[in-house]
Chain A
Amino acid sequence: DQQVKQNSPSLSVQEGRISILNCDYTNSMFDYFLWYKKYPAEGPTFLISISSIKDKNEDGRFTVFLNKSAKHLSLHIVPSQPGDSAVYFCAASAPGNQFYFGTGTSLTVIP
């Protein structure tokens, strides 16, 4: 039972443009969400998070949007850079619970 879903396994974007990565979840008890970035042969590294009391969190070129009614979050990267090419995982958790991860979206930023 996959409670966090990333339906796009891959995404290609031109350098300088916006990258939008999407994530859907099914558990309405989730109240904390994170995005992790993973390069080949490395473990995931934390990128940005958002709690359910907010609908937007911004950190430099990265912004995460949360739509609780739609159970949807998205990560915007603008402008996209070649170094952003990686696999992006979203994760979600309810209080006291483990994190549930999506299957990842592989982003390729084309120079």
Chain B
Amino acid sequence: DTAVSQTPKYLVTQMGNDKSIKCEQNLGHDTMYWYKQDSKKFLKIMFSYNNKELIINETVPNRFSPKSPDKAHLNLHINSLELGDSAVYFCASSQDFPGQVYNEQFFGPGTRLTVL
């Protein structure tokens, strides 16, 4: 049973297109995240989201938007794709525990996006 799954695993597309990456977690977690790992291997958070709050990393272009149809899903929509968007995108989730400041994040396998 896959805890955090992402589709597709690979995505190759042309500049200017709009694409979505789906993420689902079956762990019953409260919070989901999107990370981007660029060509220099930096793994940076893009968004964190629970049913109360969306936190956006201010460096993320507004062409990127998370959409959460329900607690188990957080999809990533990207409009007007650019060459620099080529990267591996990881979804993650965590469970919030009262009184616990830090919660272990469980990652999906990643989606490798290539923009031509």
Contacts and interface: CB of A to CB of B under 8 A. Distances in A.
A34 B57 CA distance: 21
Contacts of A9: 41
A41 B111 CA distance: 9
B90 to A, nearest CB: 5
Nearest to A103: B41
Given A43-B4, A43-B110, A101 B43 contact: yes
**Interface majority SS on A: helix, strand, loop or mixed?**
loop
A100 to B, nearest CB: 8
Interface centre among A2, A44, A49 (most CB of B within 10 A): A44
Interface residues of A, number: 22
Interface in A84-99: 89, 93, 95-96, 98-99
Contacts of B107: 36, 43-45
A73 to B, nearest CB: 15
Nearest to B6: A43
Interface of B: 4, 9, 35, 40-45, 48, 55, 57, 90, 92, 101-102, 104-110
Interface of A: 2, 9, 32, 34, 36, 41-46, 49, 51, 89, 93, 95-96, 98-99, 101, 103-104
The 3 tightest CB contacts between A and B, nearest first, are: A43-B107, A101-B43, A103-B41
